Amino acid sequence: MTPELEKKLAELPTTPGVYLMKGRGDEIIYVGKAVNLRSRVRAYFTRTDTRAFVGFLDHYLVDLDTVTVKTEKEALLLENELIKKHKPRFNVQLRDDKNFLCLRLSLEHRYPRLETVRRIKRDGARYFGPYASAASIRETLRVVNKYFQLRTCTDYALETRRRPCLLHQIGRCPAPCVFPIEPSEYRKNVDAVVLFLEGRSGPLLDSLRARMKDAASKLAFEEAARLRDQVIALERSLERQAVAGTEAIDQDIFGFYREADRLLIYALYVRGGRIGGGQPFFFSGQEFPDEELLASFVNLYYDADNFVPKQVLLPFAPGRTAVPDGEGVEWAEALGELLTEKKGERVRVHVPQRGDKAELMRLASQNAERAFSERKRTREETTEVLERLQQRLHLKNVPHRMECFDISHFQGSSIVASQVASLDGEADKAHYRHFRLKTVTQNDDFASMHEVLSRRFRRGLNEGDLPDVIVIDGGKGQLASAHAAMKDLGVEGVDLVALAKSRDLEVEDRDVESKASPERVFLIDRKDPIVLPQSSPELFMLTRLRDEAHRFAITFQRKLLRKRGLASELEQIPGVGDGRKRTLLKHFGSVKRVREASIEELAEAVGPSVAERVHAWLHGKRAEDDEVREASLEDAGSPVVE
């Protein structure tokens, strides 16, 4: 410990706050919170503290900063912001920027519909979920669409459609977009959907049976039969849902399992007293104690606009460690206050010891351990595949980290490239990149590959960040260009391979079905390609990476083409800046709809004066273009087709 660090430890305040541990180069390696900064931070340096994470501080820790706040709740908020800002290596982080799928039902609308969203807002709508997978939310929507018949079209389609869609024809939508459906009748289905999604099977089935009997008494036998089928189907669906306990409330239960520096947190979702699924979160390289990691994770999880239930159950008190004693209770209360503000009603954070809640906690912990074991087994299998890939391709390195490059163009121009990456067989999106070619203007794959790899190698050498293996989408020519770029910049220690796509082989007999050549792998200084077994996991890993690079390049290409389409239509309008153009496109959804909009509709988005200018330019320019086209067709003696 340096004298400067000893002095900081001696002068630490006893107030709540956040501490930032720094490594070499002023890098922030850990952010933590404390009710008492002096007690918490000094506990890391006591000789009697034998916890596993303490030993690594001598190797990594260089400096320490603290920020004091007034309350534990403010410390939670500040810790969250600093973790997201600095991304310390020893903090748990939710790396995926996507939230879990939820269902949104706007009850204020005349004809509400269910829509899938990833962020929950305070907009007066009802939200249901989260759903851990797209498959589970599709199944829920299938049941709702089949038996409750809510509309699925957008508000724009609801207002503009002139004829019923296919869903109405197959009996899954009453088509309020076309027919005069009574809102009160439609609202009955909406209320039934709310009961179904809340898991309140008793009131839902009672309501449906009452409606069935009422329809039968009015001799509306088709409606009664439909409701009867609906009751039967829902009874079967509800039978498959596991009852979680005696309380019909929403709960999130976080199971925790850890081995050394790897841990898995399993979020088990209970909605309306029934288990609705779960989601595992895996982290590695975590040296700090369980309680601190759990507290940071839960804080980050709910800050990402995920659904907040009425109860949050934890396996142990968040933030509570051996020293100081009792902090866990204070952090649980502070977390409850934060969640209460976010939800707008009382949220309780519990560490259950007995009863139904303890049983749910045990179930979540079992799921965490099982998910950890499955991931561990999968990682071991992936390691075996990577080692076999190294042997079969004679690589210098085990290809833990691979990058793949692909060139894309549109009709010989608009040349772009993509870089995708994988880490131990998993997509590593932090290393995805797009390239716009700077020196190559014509369709030349070899020159394009040389430029892109030169730029990649140059950046990698400057930052000390190069992969184990680079995969080129192409054959010998592309591989030679990439190798030339590698030699030009003096790059060593990186394996380079090219993966050539399968192609159809020519056959003389037209009646004989054509055959395809196998996928081939080309290596430097090897004349003949290596043909891996076509069903092997090694080849599957390479082709999946290659296909991802192709997809990423095509997506970027299409994005650029859409921008050029926007430029060709809107860029030339005098007096309309980029902000107004983005507003128009966001409001109407496409350039076509902007062109079709009236002046009044345009004025709703950008104001009357700009609306008149946009309308006059688009329609005046289009009319001139039509006149020129008609004149050229008449000169050529061709008929004009309207």
> What confidence category does residue 163 fall into, taking pLDDT thresholds of 50, 70 and 90?
confident
Same structural domain for residues 426 and 544? Answer: yes
Task: Give the DSSP letter string of 156-204.
Answer: HHHHH--S--HHHHTTS---TTTS---HHHHHHHHHHHHHHHHT-HHHH
Same structural domain for residues 229 and 267? Answer: no
Same structural domain for residues 267 and 362? Answer: yes
Same structural domain for residues 185 and 270? Answer: no
pLDDT, mean of residues 368-392: 86
CATH number, position 585: 1.10.150.20
Q: Give the pLDDT score at 612.
A: 84
Same structural domain for residues 505 and 407? Answer: yes
Say if 394 falls within a structural domain: no
CATH number, position 457: 3.30.420.340
pLDDT higher for 630 or 583?
583
Say if 473 falls within a structural domain: yes
Say if 69 falls within a structural domain: yes
Structure tokens at 420: 């995708």
CA 302 → CA 5, 118, 309, 416, 543, distances in Å? 34, 13, 10, 39, 37
Q: 23 with 61: CB under 8 angstroms?
A: yes
> Which region among 175-184, 232-241, 291-300 has the lowest average model confidence (pLDDT)?
232-241
Residues contacting 366, CB < 8 A, separation 6+ = 255
pLDDT, mean of residues 524-529: 86
Element (H, E) at 349: strand 348-350
Q: For residue range 239-281, what is the model confidence (pLDDT) as tens digits?
A: 545 555 556 688 899 999 988 778 899 988 887 777 777 888 8
Same structural domain for residues 76 and 120? Answer: no
Same structural domain for residues 512 and 620? Answer: no
Say if 439 falls within a structural domain: yes
Q: For residue range 349-370, what is the model confidence (pLDDT) as tens digits?
A: 888 888 888 888 998 998 899 8
For 341, other C-beta atoms within 10 Å of its C-beta total 11
Q: 200 with 248: CB under 8 angstroms?
A: yes
Same structural domain for residues 186 and 206? Answer: no
Same structural domain for residues 518 and 408? Answer: yes
Q: Give the pLDDT score at 393.
A: 92
Say if 329 falls within a structural domain: yes
Boundary residue ending a domain (521, 555, 589): 555
Say if 642 falls within a structural domain: no
Boundary residue ending a domain (524, 555, 586): 555
CA 30 → CA 76, 82, 94, 537, 582, distances in Å? 14, 10, 15, 38, 40
Same structural domain for residues 449 and 517? Answer: yes
Q: Give the pLDDT score at 457.
A: 93
Same structural domain for residues 194 and 210? Answer: no
Say if 169 falls within a structural domain: yes
End-to-end CA distance of the chain: 83
> What confidence category does residue 153 fall into, taking pLDDT thresholds of 50, 70 and 90?
confident
Q: Give the pLDDT score at 214.
A: 87
Q: Is residue 633 pLDDT above 60, yes or no?
A: no
Same structural domain for residues 259 and 358? Answer: yes
When the pLDDT of each residue in the chain is averaged and rounded to a whole number, the result is 80
Q: 129 with 315: CB under 8 angstroms?
A: no
pLDDT higher for 71 or 198?
71
pLDDT, mean of residues 136-157: 80
Sequence-ordered strand ranges (E) for 508-619: 520-523
CATH number, position 55: 3.40.1440.10
Q: For residue range 419-431, what is the model confidence (pLDDT) as tens digits?
A: 999 998 888 888 9
CA separation for the pair 297, 565 (Å, rounded): 44
What is the number of domains present in the chain?
6
**Domain span including residue 226:** 200-236
Say if 504 falls within a structural domain: yes
